Amino acid sequence: MSTNSPLDAGPLKVWIERDGALLRLRLAKPKANIVDAAMIAALQGAFDAHRGNAAHRTSAVQHRAVLVDAEGPHFSFGASVEEHLAERCAGMLASLHALLLAMLEWPVPILVAVKGQCLGGGLELAMGGSLIFAAADAKLGQPEIQLGVFAPAASCLLPPRIGQAAAEDLLLSGRSIGADEALRLGLVQSVSADAEAAALAYFDQYLAGKSASSLACAVAAVRGGYLLRVRRRIAEVERLYLTRLMQTRDANEGLAAFIAKRPPKWEHK
């Protein structure tokens, strides 16, 4: 196995290992690893830069997978609340959703290793991948409703993963779940003391020896209809968020209250 030294791309570290077979992306803005504009741009840039090594194009080196993980005790606290404010949220949603669709279209599996808090936009990012490997201390959830808003991407990505009823529970309550419950629901692939090691072991056992071009065809086959539905639904929920939710008083109050570190005062309108 050969390992290249990580390269810093702002809030992201990028390197290649396993003799060029595995692209590593590491969120590197601990402890929160906020999925803000800078993080989204760094991730999008990394995927764009390495697309020539993906299996759908001719290259001397072809990746068989990507592994996304994070520095520090937490995977991500979520998206930037400031970037959700009315005057900025359109651009934030467009860039995040473009990143997630690029991940869903990626021609080889994307493995994600999470630990600590994996919330909001952080969980949406994780669900842009193929399989999520959780550390025993992981807490996963979509708490947006507690701020008076909802999670657009998660509204599209969570129901196919865990079923409609379980997804509605998490999206409407805003509660977080532990790794064991996430495993029971099918949200994560495994729970272990070291999620990164578990993801690497999965890669070594199940993906490293595969043909990159065959993996690309398999990914396209299994995701075809799913990707079409997600693309359509993300556009629909993005419009709902911008043209209806953000026109309400309570959505703006919830975000302002969070930033001011005070309880929100709902007027139900």
Catalytic residues: 124, 144
Contact of 76 with 32, CB cutoff 8 Å: yes
| CA of residue 125 relative to chain centroid, distance | 1
For residues 35 and 205, what is the distance between their CA atoms, to the nearest angstrom? Answer: 31
Structure tokens at 250: 């309570």
Rg (CA), the chain: 18
CA 182 vs CA 133, 135, 140, 162, 206: distances in Å: 10, 11, 8, 9, 22
Site of tokens 């993980």: 69
Q: Residue 152 belongs to what H/E stretch?
A: helix 152-162
Helices (H) and strands (E) in the chain, counts: 9, 10
Angle 50-221-131 from CA coordinates, rounded to 5°: 60
Whether the link from the prior residue into 31 is cis, omega within 30° of 0, is yes
CA dihedral 174, 178, 183, 184 (to 10 degrees): -70
Site of tokens 């072809």: 62
